[in-house]
Amino acid sequence: MRITLSCAVLSSRLLTLSKVLNSKNSLQILDCILFDVKDGVLTLTASDKENELTTSVELDEADSDGRFAISSRTIIDAVKDLPEQPVTLTVDLNTYSVSITFQNGGYTFTAQNADEFPMAQPVGDGATTITIPSGILADNISRTLFATANEEIRPVMNGLYFDLNQEALAIVASDGHKLVRNKILSITNEEPVSFILPKKPATLLKNALTHDDTPVEIRFDNLNAEVTFAAGNLKCRLIEGRYPNYNSVIPTDNPCQMTIDRRALLGSVKRILPFASESSQSIRLRLGIGQVEASSEDIDFATSAKETIVCDYNGTPMSIGFKGPSLVEILSSLTSDEVLMELADPSRPCLIFPSEQPEGQNILMLIMPMLLND
């Protein structure tokens, strides 16, 4: 079998697929990428047994159909540094010998039998289907991933919760200290349905999705999900279990509101954070009329930092503490020029919103306060 395609396209697709693979595998075939040639189209597949990512490439030439698997390290190292040019793969499907030829050279190595490659379980017939614009899904995943947990006791917290009901599709993540809830108001369903997408396939999607209006179709049942997008297809196992009632921790009565320049607050917190206690990493915000004072200190090493930022605050003066890195992550994940912070008192969660919500969406972020030593 002989096929020809663009070196740059092949290298780009292989690098994307390589992110699926684990560094160590119990099966040697899982170190490989599956090549499937049919009707002039090359379909590439990578799998770690729980996640399977597939992408297709139109071939310049193909003299026959066939399937084989090549070590990901071998094929990626062979083509990644080549300048853009056509490359030709010649494969003997009886001996599984492979040769790659290009303008001024070539390589020869061995492939493996494609029949040994494990394929993901298909989604059941009674699956639910959601269609989301690619750019909106990519933005929501990027905005939410940082808030997922890394827990062995409660694995349901380690993924993104997709909660679809009559009002909206909510994409939620929380680690118990911070929470992100993104609502896509245009996507609804009469019957409430939900699933928990693990962090790894969510990260794969974030890197693979285009930032445009191309539709992305998500089909899911109780165990598996299949995501079809412009550049390919992702099949994955879902996290089983019941996600906590995230709405119950979101306070509804927040009389104190502050509007502040997001970049100014983010920059200030980043500058004072190195002076905070290494164990607590806490920063203090002293809220007053027309300004907020951000400060940190480490009593053990006699260090401290303080900055004042102009803001619009209409509540009673208060001091509230936050874990600095969590506040940095929240402010960094937003893109608006200003943010609105809603508070009740120093012991209750603080809500953070972009000053202007994206059209058809509602973004809410929550951060739990820290106890201050006054």
Tens-level pLDDT at each residue, the chain (374 residues):
999 999 999 999 999 999 999 988 878 899 999 999 999 999 999 999 999 999 999 999 999 999 999 999 999 999 988 999 999 999 999 999 999 999 989 999 999 999 989 988 888 788 999 999 999 999 999 999 999 999 888 999 999 999 999 999 999 999 999 999 999 999 999 999 999 999 999 999 999 999 999 999 999 999 999 999 998 999 999 999 999 999 999 998 899 999 999 999 999 999 999 999 998 999 999 999 999 999 999 988 899 999 999 999 988 999 999 999 999 999 999 999 999 999 999 999 999 999 999 999 999 999 999 987 76
Q: Which CATH class is domain 2-116?
A: alpha beta
59 is written with which tokens?
């071939």
Tell me, what's the pLDDT at 24? 85
pTM for this entry? 0.92
Residue with tokens 């794969």: 204
Tell me, what's the pLDDT at 109? 92
98 is written with which tokens?
């492979």
Tell me, what's the pLDDT at 124? 79
Architecture of domain 251-367: Roll (3.10)
- Beta carbons within 10 angstroms of residue 249's beta carbon: 13
If residue 371 lies in a helix (H) or strand (E), which one and from where to where?
Answer: none
Q: What is the DSSP letter of 138?
A: H
For residue 54, the one-letter residue type is T
The per-residue b/e assignment along 30-54, b for 16 or more CB within 10 angstroms, e otherwise, is bbbbbbbbeeeebbbbbbeebbbbb
Q: Which CATH superfamily groups domain 128-248?
A: DNA Polymerase III, subunit A, domain 2 (3.10.150.10)
Fold agreement between 2-116 and 251-367: yes
Cβ-contact 215, 132 below 8 angstroms: yes
Residue with tokens 């970049």: 263
If residue 209 lies in a helix (H) or strand (E), which one and from where to where?
Answer: none
For residue 21, the one-letter residue type is L
Could you tell me which of 231, 136, 123, 238 has the C-alpha nearest to residue 187?
136
Distance of alpha carbon 300 from alpha carbon 336, whole angstroms: 37
Tell me, what's the pLDDT at 143? 95
Distance of alpha carbon 157 from alpha carbon 319, whole angstroms: 30
